[in-house]
A and B are shown apart, each in its own frame.
Chain A
């Protein structure tokens, strides 16, 4: 392949990458708007609390995934760093599960200690 041919291929790859970055940027902006609108929708009573919760958290996970995969180049590097990242997420979830019985599912003042603890939700 000639040098100009190689340079052209190289430039095309670079342009594709910029296009990917721009597409992800637009997607992130749109998803932010979706989560904001989901919150407005539940305030207006158009959708339920649980539906909006699922949309908002789902959107947050998708946004984090896009930033991680495309902006942080994990689409190239995942196979080389997954063993550093995955245990952390397991530990994070474990930390919450370990603390949950004492704080969330707990006896409250005035409750009869002979009765089973009240499972609290605390959600609106």
Chain B
């Protein structure tokens, strides 16, 4: 008599995935929350710019963001994502020399990305577009002044409240520009630009005319007027190709700069972290210890690198395009 013995299939503890992969995904979701906090904050701060203000969130050209450079950086990261997945593919096929080559190319592309980012940061530093430096107020356009017939008294109240609110920051900007203009006075630049800078400096500093002489008090210009004139001087200097270190006045510029440097700075740190890992992989390869057993490691490194790519895929349009 035959007997049929039914063996229950052996049950395994844990996930239907290799444990390191689970760990990497858990880490990646914490990183998703991290960048969601940064990007989400940027979105709601941008959407929170007051409707009553005639000034809107800065346009890319106002803050010296060049779209094609951002697009180039996006393409560089896409290429690096492609090469890192090919590296894993080569490791699975036990072609470790190819895998190491692809890792080297990915490292090089990551370095190119950081180089382009450094160039962009240098541009911001040269234009003094840094958090806490930028002038926040510009004169309100005529059409926004109160009109009794239209009953738009709210708008003048808004303008007054904004200037009161921004007074301390405005005077900080005033003094910063004053110091910069004094530096420009000592340097030798284009004559016309120099003349305009000196005229602005005179207006900002001289309250009386002549030593020992009674003179009418000249009210110094407000930070908003200073900002407007600085912007005009910078525009003329740019047309003439003159490099001028003056801080522009860009409404909501400090908020923009804080968001920009926070988001792209943390992203760049993540790219750098990935590059460090690629260096370690190449060192392992150089020591001759790189083998098919490292295929899973390459897959996990690839997961991290693709995540960094996905973050930039969202950062690029939100900062440069939209």
Contacts and interface: CB of A to CB of B under 8 A. Distances in A.
A5 interface: no
B317 A96 contact: no
B16 to A, nearest CB: 5
Contact of B86 (A18, A56, A68, A106): A18
B67 A39 contact: yes
A96 to B, nearest CB: 4
A88 interface: yes
B29 A35 contact: no
Given A85-B29, A110-B157, A118-B51, A77 B17 contact: yes
Interface stretch (B73-81, B131-139, B174-182, B219-227): B73-81
A4 interface: no
B200 to A, nearest CB: 29
Given A32-B74, A35-B317, A95-B37, A67 B81 contact: yes
Given A32-B71, A36-B71, A95-B36, A103 B25 contact: no
B67 A120 contact: no
A122 B165 contact: no
A36 B67 contact: yes
A47 B299 CA distance: 42
Contacts of A36: 67-68, 71, 321
A91 interface: yes
Given A71-B302, A72-B306, A88 B33 contact: yes
Say what secondary structure dominates the interface of chain A.
helix
B56 interface: yes
A118 B50 contact: yes
Contacts of A29: 75, 78
A120 B51 contact: yes
Interface in A82-120: 84-85, 88-89, 91-92, 95-96, 99-100, 103-104, 106, 108-112, 118-120
Contacts of B159: 110
Interface residues of A, number: 57
A121 B47 contact: yes
A69 to B, nearest CB: 11
A81 interface: yes
Contact of B36 (A35, A92, A103): A92
B81 A80 contact: no
A29 B314 CA distance: 15
B93 A14 contact: yes
B40 A96 contact: yes
A6 interface: no
Given A56-B317, A56-B321, A57-B322, A84 B71 contact: no
Contact of B48 (A22, A104, A110): A104
Given A72-B302, A110-B154, 12 more contacts: A18-B89, A25-B79, A29-B78, A39-B321, A52-B322, A80-B17, A81-B17, A84-B22, A91-B33, A111-B158, A120-B51, A124-B59
25 contacts: A14-B92, A24-B82, A25-B82, A32-B71, A32-B75, A36-B67, A39-B321, A57-B322, A59-B317, A67-B309, A71-B81, A72-B302, A73-B299, A80-B15, A84-B26, A85-B29, A88-B33, A88-B36, A89-B32, A95-B36, A100-B44, A109-B161, A110-B154, A120-B47, A122-B51
Interface of B: 15-17, 21-22, 25-26, 29, 32-33, 36-37, 40-41, 43-52, 56-57, 59, 67-68, 71, 74-75, 78-79, 81-82, 85-86, 89, 92-93, 154, 157-162, 165, 299, 302-303, 306-307, 309-310, 313-314, 316-317, 320-322
